[in-house]
Structure 1
Amino acid sequence: MLTAGDIAAVYGLGRARIGDILGVPDHVPGVQPLAVPLLTVQVHWESEAAYPAVVAAFQELADEDPLLDLQWIPENRELHVRVMGPIQMEVLTHLLHSRFGQRVTFGPPSVIYKETPASAGEGFVAYTMPKPCWAVLRFFIEPGERGSGLRYRSLAREERLLESYQNEVARRVPEALLQGLYGWEVTDLSVTLLEGEHHVWHTHPLDFVVATPMGIMDGLATTGTKLLEPLLRFRLSAPEEAAGRLLHELAEMRAVYETSVGQGGRMEMEGLLPVATSLDFPSRLGSLTKGRGVLSTSFAGYQEAPPDVRAERPRRGVNPLDQAKYILAVRSALSG
């Protein structure tokens, strides 16, 4: 029996990671991450012979820091990681060399967008061929409040869809939302399982592993999705004579801000700044203010991107909207 302050060793957990909860999570206090990765970068290595060791090294680092969120694409031999900025990329480069003996470089960073439903609508899937299989699902998808994440519930009757099958659907919905119509995670939505159906003889629990993403993507194709972009809350202090240049730059970056003049003739600014338009702003601030500008930023959440912003990420794996190809790919993976 362990109590607060005790230290113990546990074995046999396999792929346990920092942040995983063992046992009932009811009394575990919520913990806010110290930082949120807003950028994704591709990792490059020196030679093809090095890539297994590089992937293994990053997997070990990701076990220590789950926020890295490795995305390994075997068919393209690509490795992507989520980072918070250039400093973390420098730290990772040093760690890979000093600890694992691997030299890596990173591609240019790109912003991590998200998606949210543009309207309310239904998604439907009847996965009944090729037999043996039987999984029928109908979802209702609607937009949620900004920052609400995913809210899921089931209204399906147990006599039509057993509770064990409903639980399998509930486990698979978050996975199905990791890639939306534009390839980004879908968030701030409500998903309701309206009804479902199993077959006494033909249904296997794995049928809902196949069917759930198809039903969810069918729903997103009906509702459409809108891009959400990450924002930074910023505080900027600079000499008043630099005001003209800074105000022009902030307007170009689509910033929303308020200004005031403080002591010593310095202008103080506070507001919101899109990450996508301000990646190089900290490095340019020195020349804009002759080295006398002071900038601090913090993550401020996601908001709907302007209509002219286009950001699509290549999908990993087969799109569930191509149902025939998707069924073949997933069934092969499940039986492999």
Structure 2
Amino acid sequence: PAGTVCAVTGLTQTFPGAGLGMERDGASPVLQPVLTYTLLPGECDAHKCLMALRELEDEDPLLHVVWQPRLQETHVHLMGAVQLEIIQQMLHDRFGLDVTFGPGSILYKETITAPIEGVGHFEPLRHYAEAHVLLEPLPEGSGMRYATVCSEDVLDRNWQRLIMQHFREREHLGVLTGSPITDVKITLLTGRSHLKHTEGGDFRQATYRAIRQGLMELGKKGDCRLLEPWYGFRLEVPQDMVGHAMADVQRMGGTFDTPTGDGEYMVLNGTAPVSEMQDYAMEVNAYTHGRGHLSCVFAGYRPCHDADAVVEDMAYDPESDLENMPDSVFCAHGAGYTVKWYKVPEFMHLDYAWSGMGKW
């Protein structure tokens, strides 16, 4: 009956709101993390801090903890300063850890504006796998989708299932700033295994490299786009200050509807980039002398209003990211050797499978 409490063993990847059996997962939360903070462990053990944050992450779906191997840092994705204070207090009360965090920065994402076929080949000595994937842009807010159109006569079902798992098992990073990609459909087009030499991890390497190689090709063509989070806001200010508020929103690059009000107070409803509005509540409080009120909700990701400046400031080099290599590995004369991503089409063992690259 409803309200019954039970215990289930053997579950490994559950989360709050997860549906079990035929039950669907609960609706996505309205609030989404839009800021990232760097953990500063101080005198505390960094690994112990990471494990404590992982435990809190398992309890709270709005907390996202990321270990950045390239920077050797732990990053925490949150909604803002209030949630950060709560996390700090929980680390102190439950784990005896007194830590601080660096200043918050915007949690960017990336997407693509054109389709491409990416190729990944992994063939060190006594290993073999090649994967061809199609990357396609999706409408705003679609998230990530995965599919396969590869015939089982070309690549066995077990290898295809493994590749589909590799699609989903990690957050694939873009090549502009190293931010996660979104609104992209990834489709397995074709692949090749070797009866004796292909092992389970070979297709993981080939799949990751195929996705990354495709993104690098798109980046070279200018078909990658940086996205930033936007807020939907409701701003209530005294009538004589509505001009000030409207000018501020326009300065931020935001938009708003026609102001409404009852004579004493006016209300602005609109949207604006989080990067411009994250500290605006304090400004509202200052220029209205405490009589104004600002409320914000997450309104999704949109093209970044100052993308060139952000990319230049972050100075991300995709070819130096050893955790996300776009190059492939081929074998000759009994030894593996690396082939740069832009030369992979010259060495790949299978022809292009997508009509946009040659033939379907």
If the TM-score is normalised by the length of the shorter chain, which range does it land in? 0.7 to 0.9
- The one-letter amino acid of 1:167's match is R
TM-score by length of 2: 0.82
- The one-letter amino acid of 1:319's match is N
CA distance in 2, matches of 1:52, 1:137: 36
What aligned pairs does 1:274-289 form with structure 2 within 5 A after superposition? 274-289=273-288
What is residue 162 of structure 2 aligned with on the other side? 168
What percent identity do the matched residue pairs reach? 35
How far residue 45 of structure 1 moved from its aligned partner, in angstroms, is: 2.0
What is residue 331 of structure 1 aligned with on the other side? none
Q: Compared with structure 1, are the counterparts of its residues 297 and 81 closer, same or farther at alpha carbon in structure 2 (3 Å cutoff)? A: same
- The one-letter amino acid of 1:8's match is C
What aligned pairs does 1:120-159 form with structure 2 within 5 A after superposition? 120-127=115-122, 129-159=123-153
Q: Is the 8 A contact 2:18 2:25 kept in 1?
A: no
How far residue 244 of structure 1 moved from its aligned partner, in angstroms, is: 2.9
1:114 matched to 2:109: yes
CA distance in 2, matches of 1:101, 1:241: 50
How far residue 7 of structure 1 moved from its aligned partner, in angstroms, is: 1.9
How far residue 85 of structure 1 moved from its aligned partner, in angstroms, is: 0.8
CA distance in 2, matches of 1:124, 1:53: 39
Q: Is the 8 A contact 1:139 1:193 kept in 2?
A: yes
- The one-letter amino acid of 2:241's match is A
Aligned with residue 44 of structure 1, among 37, 40, 45: 40
Aligned with residue 321 of structure 1, among 326, 330, 354: 326
What is residue 305 of structure 1 aligned with on the other side? 304
What is residue 227 of structure 1 aligned with on the other side? 226
CA deviations over 1:191-247 (Å, ceiling 9, x no partner): 221111111111112211111110001111122320111111111111121123222
**Bigger mean CA offset, 71-80 vs 248-257:** 71-80
Aligned length: 321
Q: Note the residue ranges of structure 2 that are not aligned, 5 or more in a row.
A: 330-335, 338-360
Q: Is the 8 A contact 1:176 1:213 kept in 2?
A: no
Q: Is the 8 A contact 2:30 2:298 kept in 1?
A: no
Q: Compared with structure 1, are the counterparts of its residues 309 and 259 closer, same or farther at alpha carbon in structure 2 (3 Å cutoff)? A: farther
Aligned partner of residue 209 in structure 1, secondary structure: helix
1:203 matched to 2:206: no
CA distance in 2, matches of 1:105, 1:141: 40
CA distance in 1, matches of 2:117, 2:64: 31
Aligned with residue 57 of structure 2, among 36, 56, 62: 62
Aligned partner of residue 159 in structure 1, secondary structure: coil
- The one-letter amino acid of 2:107's match is I
Q: Compared with structure 1, are the counterparts of its residues 17 and 263 closer, same or farther at alpha carbon in structure 2 (3 Å cutoff)? A: closer
- The one-letter amino acid of 1:318's match is E
Q: Is the 8 A contact 2:17 2:25 kept in 1?
A: no
Q: Is the 8 A contact 2:17 2:26 kept in 1?
A: no
Q: Note the residue ranges of structure 1 that are not aligned, 5 or more in a row.
A: 329-336
How far residue 281 of structure 1 moved from its aligned partner, in angstroms, is: 0.3
**Bigger mean CA offset, 163-172 vs 148-157:** 148-157
How far residue 53 of structure 1 moved from its aligned partner, in angstroms, is: 2.9
CA deviations over 1:262-304 (Å, ceiling 9, x no partner): 1133221111011011111011111121211111111111111
How far residue 46 of structure 1 moved from its aligned partner, in angstroms, is: 2.7
What is residue 28 of structure 1 aligned with on the other side? 24
What is residue 178 of structure 1 aligned with on the other side? 172
CA distance in 2, matches of 1:57, 1:176: 21
Q: Compared with structure 1, are the counterparts of its residues 261 and 75 closer, same or farther at alpha carbon in structure 2 (3 Å cutoff)? A: closer
CA distance in 2, matches of 1:261, 1:145: 32
Q: Compared with structure 1, are the counterparts of its residues 123 and 77 closer, same or farther at alpha carbon in structure 2 (3 Å cutoff)? A: closer
CA distance in 1, matches of 2:134, 2:70: 34
Q: Is the 8 A contact 2:146 2:185 kept in 1?
A: yes
Aligned partner of residue 277 in structure 2, secondary structure: coil
Q: Is the 8 A contact 1:142 1:190 kept in 2?
A: yes
Q: Compared with structure 1, are the counterparts of its residues 204 and 50 closer, same or farther at alpha carbon in structure 2 (3 Å cutoff)? A: closer
